[in-house]
Amino acid sequence: MKIVIANWKMNPLKFSDAEKLINNYQIFKNVKVWITPPNIFLLSLKNKFKKIIFGAQNIHFEEKGAYTGEISAKMIKNIGARFVIINHSERRKMGENLEMANKKIISALEINLITVVCLGEEKRIKNLSQLKNEWSKQLNLLFKEVNLIKNKNRIIIAYEPTWAISTYGQGSVPREIVYYFINFLREKNIQSKIIYGGSVFKENIENYLDLPLDGFLIGSQSLIPKNFNRICSLITSSKKQSF
């Protein structure tokens, strides 16, 4: 069963439009859709669509306190969130760093939230040795003092190179690089699920369907039900082959 995470980002503007989005999603076998709506819709959507797994797009690493505008892991869990996205490239562009992301991961894991941890190089790196060095650096900082084996079922790693985000296919990551990333993690004995999220849309999803991925992180295309349904349909109908 593939996991497809619909990251709505700061959309839509009204709860009725959020309901409409979900009602226009089709159900496919072999695909489990998880959704991260804006936090203001999370509780109401969870109460209405009880069979869907909902999560949050971000958390603060402290449980409570004088952090104006922030929401903690315990708060989102208390209203029904099952998972949280951490270290998304758009958060990094806003000034967050890997040390902050590490604190968020620890905070989420402490209360048994599933963490979808985004990881990927900021700029395109063509040299494989340099690329692996960058991945290693990020892994070490993100999972400092985190037992990856113990938490393997509560961590999902999303390969999401910043340079490939919002490129609508013009800067899609070559499938061999995604394959190298998967092998890189497995060689380090990281047993968590691995998903891909570098500007996935219906025109390029087939590039990655024969790779040993556990799913996909979908951004803008999850706001267009026709396109999102097509992506899920292609995932369902694909027959995995060896690379």
Q: Which residues are catalytic?
A: 88, 160
Residue 157, number of CB atoms within 10 A of its CB:
23
The token pair that represents 142 in the structure block: 């993100």
Long-range contacts of residues 36-45, Cβ cutoff 8 Å, at least 24 apart: 36/5, 36/6, 36/7, 36/8, 36/83, 36/85, 37/8, 38/8, 38/10, 38/11, 39/71, 39/76, 41/15, 42/76, 42/79, 42/80, 42/81, 43/79, 43/80, 44/15, 45/15, 45/18, 45/19
Cα–Cα nearest to 199, from 242, 156, 233, 158: 158
The token pair that represents 60 in the structure block: 């603060």
What single-letter DSSP state applies at residue 47? H
**Segments in the chain forming alpha helices (H):** 15-23, 39-48, 73-78, 89-93, 98-110, 128-142, 175-187, 225-237
Length of the chain in residues, anyone? 243
- Sort strands 2-7 and 193-196 into parallel, antiparallel or unpaired: unpaired
Residue 239, number of CB atoms within 10 A of its CB:
6
